[in-house]
Structure 1
Amino acid sequence: PELLEWTRGKSLKDYTAALKELEAKLNVPGWRKSSRKLLWPFRKPKMERYLGLVGEQRTKLHLLLTTATTKTVTKMLRKVDEKELREVQRWLNIVDPGTNYSSALAVREPGTGGCATAIEDVEHLCNANDDYGLAYFYFTFSDSEKQKLHNVLLSLIGQLPKKPSDRGLPGAVVDLYNSTQAIGKSADTRALKDLLLHMIKGFKKTFIIIDALDEFPKDTRESLLSWIRELTVDHDAGSLSILVTSRPEADIILIYADTRVGILRFRWVDCLLRILQECITPGDVRAALRELPKDLDSVYLRILQSIHEKQGEYIRRAMHWLAFSAVPLTLGQLAEAVVIEYDVEKYGEDPETGAIFDMDCFMSICPSLIAFEDARDGESSPQENRRLRLAHFSVKEYLISDRAAQGPSACYHISEDKANLLMGHACLSRILRHSAQGAIHWKEVAETSFLYHSARYWFVYTRFNDDTAPTPLSQAAVKVLELGKGLLDIYDPDDHYRITTPSSGIYPPAIYYSCLLNLVTAAKFLVNEEADVVNAQGGRYGNALQAAVENGNQSVVRLLLEHGAEVNAQGGQFGNALQAAA
């Protein structure tokens, strides 16, 4: 009782001392606790009154802390006039993730609405707690401004202040604006990171939600991943929650290795539920439960072993494409690609059928291994034009592992070398078959067709194994290069965006494209056939040497120089090879 009376009207420091004294009085030997239990019925009325007084003190203490926090936040904000407020907000909102959020809320389809729903739920939580903050960002491959870390940081900084127009802007934000943007300078990325970190620490709990991380350019993504890693290190556990959605890109998976075990367990459960879905009676369910695979490897092994032998070869080819293709194939493209048998001696021959007659069979044979990609940016298309992917990154991890190579599923083991040989052969075969069938107008070749994919990416696959590829495959690549207009009307690597109309284009010779695309073996074949070909004119870069120099293809440059390429030849985009090199 005297403690309760004593704490009335005291400071927070006095509260702390009183609580420590109270704690010491409560920590008593076990025999005294037992005696207190016996006396409890007689002391209950008095203790309930004391507990009521404690409750009153807790309410007062909570009010005191809330008032102190509000005063601190108010001090951090700075009132600005309406014009300056608009200018600062325009600087911070150089990109607007709100448009993606609104679209996702409206659609609410798998892969688009999940992140939006999370934002919606967290917003309700933050609205109920003044010391909670939320910021989110949507990466979009179709918007280059949403692929810059500088703009990501600005957007997140702009979202964290609550009702900035009513209460002002954080002083640190205004100061950074006045020292950079207001005088025509760009804010340093390090300064933006420090400012965001400072703002996050001003909240009791902060939520950052990032959608489609995989759509940030891969060649510069390390800077973004490093920043996210910095954020998680610089905060106490529980004070910062980061939700990231992404397709299973290898570098992203490595960054979040700490969460891998949980992800794989969830994946294992998902696969087991698919197995149980096939049961039609309670007895079947009980029997299946007794025989369920004990880990994810066992799940995948069971799925692969259940594939019929006649279907197995098509599934093997499909797995190579799904794991290693330059871009995800559509269902229609894959159905055509997998019927092309890999025979290094044969190219351009018609398979027994142009494509698998039942495209849906992929999904029915192994639904736990293959899935449709999520539609993005309101994309809508027929099922055969929807892109496919492996259902989970752990599928590829298993198929390329030594565990798969040495176990009962060895026939399904895949590798990047084998995949590029198979894919390069299939693309060359499809192009040569097209050329043998006679002229087809380029407008009749849809970008969703396997023929277009073959014309667009054949050199990517053949270049991967250029030094070790079988001779017949390299010879087939030369044949394709020599097709000229028949191939280049479909896709011209010297004119990605079709600035010129294909039907009116005059294309440079095969040696030019072999040097442009860094196909060393094909270039050797061509210069050995005709020595003078190295100085042939044509193309965006004027000649083969300038094309090779511009793309940094050193081996091809050396080959051309050894065979008498004219270093001072004039023309092309850069005027000469030296200017292109510079």
Structure 2
Amino acid sequence: MDPFSALGVAASIIACIQLSQSLLKKLGPSAHRSQDLKLILRTMMQFRKAYETLKEYAELDESEEIRLATFRQVEEPLKECKDIIDNVVERLEKNSFLKQWVTGSAWDRKLQKCMSRLNEVRLLLDMAMQSDQLWFSVVDQAKEEKRRALLQWLSKTDPSTNHQAARKACMRGTGEWLLRNLEYRRWKENPRSFLWLQGLPGAGKTVLCSTVVEDVQDFCSSDSGHLVAFYYFSFSDSQKQNTTNFLRSILAQMIKQSNKAFHTAAPLYNDTDDPELQLHALKAMLRAIIAAHGYVFIVADALDECPRATATQDERQLVSETLEEIISWKLDSLHLMITSRKIADLESMIHGIPGVVTVFIQNDHVDADTRLYVASELQKDKKLRSWPPGIRTEIETTLERGANGMFRWVSCQLEMLRSCITPAQVRSCLKTLPETLYSTYERMLAEIDKKHIDMVITALKWLVIAERPLRLDELAEAVALGLEPGADFDIDNRLPDLTDILRVLGSLVAVEVSLPRRFYWLRSEYDSDSDSEFELDSVCHVSDAATTGNSDNPYYSPIVRLAHFSVREYLMSTLPKPWSTDHFNEADLHDFAAIACLNYIKLIMSHNSMFDDLYYYARSYWRVHVQKCKNHDRANSAKFITFLSEFRLTGGRPLERLLSSPITPTSSNSRLCSGQFCRSWAKCRDGYCSSGSTSGLGRSRPSTFRDHQ
């Protein structure tokens, strides 16, 4: 037993508090100096808080010697405090005190002396604590360093960007049906509950998930012992598709919310590179934190966007098994909710978990929300509200009838209606609306001007296969490489106005918050031995200006992604499309991206150019694309193998480690990703392009790097 507990101060304080509360409850407000009894209660509660803070400080350091030194500083004041509190308890328990209290005689003088002496001893205790203030400061610093290290280890992805995008898409009044749903209310209130929200593609599950997050955050806001953590799995970001990052993220959120969560998780922190040990440590942390808190809400969206079985593992299966294990802990404080489509493999996994309750997003629920959404769009959109009332009524009626529970379908039809310029065109469009999402996407592609089709196919290939969301300037540069990524680069393929690609792609893509381009390529030092780049999630935390970046500013570029998971599924499907689908399968797309990345690196090096828009992505992810197509049929990859054989890997690692049969690399481009070019470039970067002009293939840059760091 630690020396603080051995003194028994905490037990005495609790006894005094409980007795005071009991007296006040039984006797009620008295006309005779009731404030004195309340003063005892208030003083005891304040003293208890100070005592627990002192004990917490002492327990932060693992050194027994330091803990004992801290105890000796305050031992005598604490002993006297305990004696005084015990006297107060003894006096409160006496019948004579109750008689005096009820009959209204003079307030007990012994209690007055006790409270006066307690205040004096508290001053001595404060002085003892202040004399060791420097040590407490050191402990605070050590505690903060531990917290920072733990959060840095955990914070690999940032789901708040997805949450903010979903809240922006949410319209006031929608989703209320779910908050009133009986099963949802039971999930929120009942211990050890697991809810699965199912819906069709495009039914608005992500927006509903964000509504749930806001609701439970409001529910937990009044109690620091309650925790809320959320996660959005994302088809457009490979870092948001795995179990480890899911656990890391929800743990990081909990630790930020609660000191108790930090103290619970810190002893279990294990900074290891072994994936199995990492997963074990993360689960142990989560179990301990859930057990230590009253209510813990975990909300996970789009479980179906986890990839299915690959050559290495089935991530969707692993997430499902992890959820099953979390439920098997049988912790009453846990409230777990997931959302997804109803798909066979996921249904067989989740339905095997005991206690799961399923809520289906019914068409009538969504229809009410789509009516609100359409009415709002017709009111706030300048083009749509210009139509006569009769036309607007026809639009509302037709879209409500054809929605079939799909918000996404309604959004796409409104976008097509915006292109109409006469009432006749509107009525014609309403009569020929596509019935499904896939047929909607087919029409969108069919209506693209033929002279833009190569650019569109190139852009869609990149958006489907990119390992992380691409900035607009990165996507535009990738499009300039063309459909033949190994071909010579033509500078005339670059877009003078980058937003032209967005206008051509239309509703197939979505644009998110602008991010500062300079954090990707302006650096005071370049680590030539590192293969990492500035990750998107870390950039989001670098500057608040990132959330308000001006798209007209050359140093800001918005994030572009496919508008919905259903767009990716349509593009990867075998359904008829306005162009050949021969190369829209995952293995071929990784071939395409790997060759494009390598060719772009060679391009930048051969022109002795500054790092341009796509360089950091190419340098960081070309190897990932190679690894993901290494089991592809080599007979169909001859061009890729020939191209790749010209290069050697970073650090001189042989290609045989990535590809299934040996390839002998040549030395013609041995500088690729070796760091040699990076070091030589770093020496002259401050004098490079000093006039602000374009050299070689690089875009116009500022006069020096330091001017904008």
TM-score when normalising by structure 2: 0.41
TM-score when normalising by structure 1: 0.49
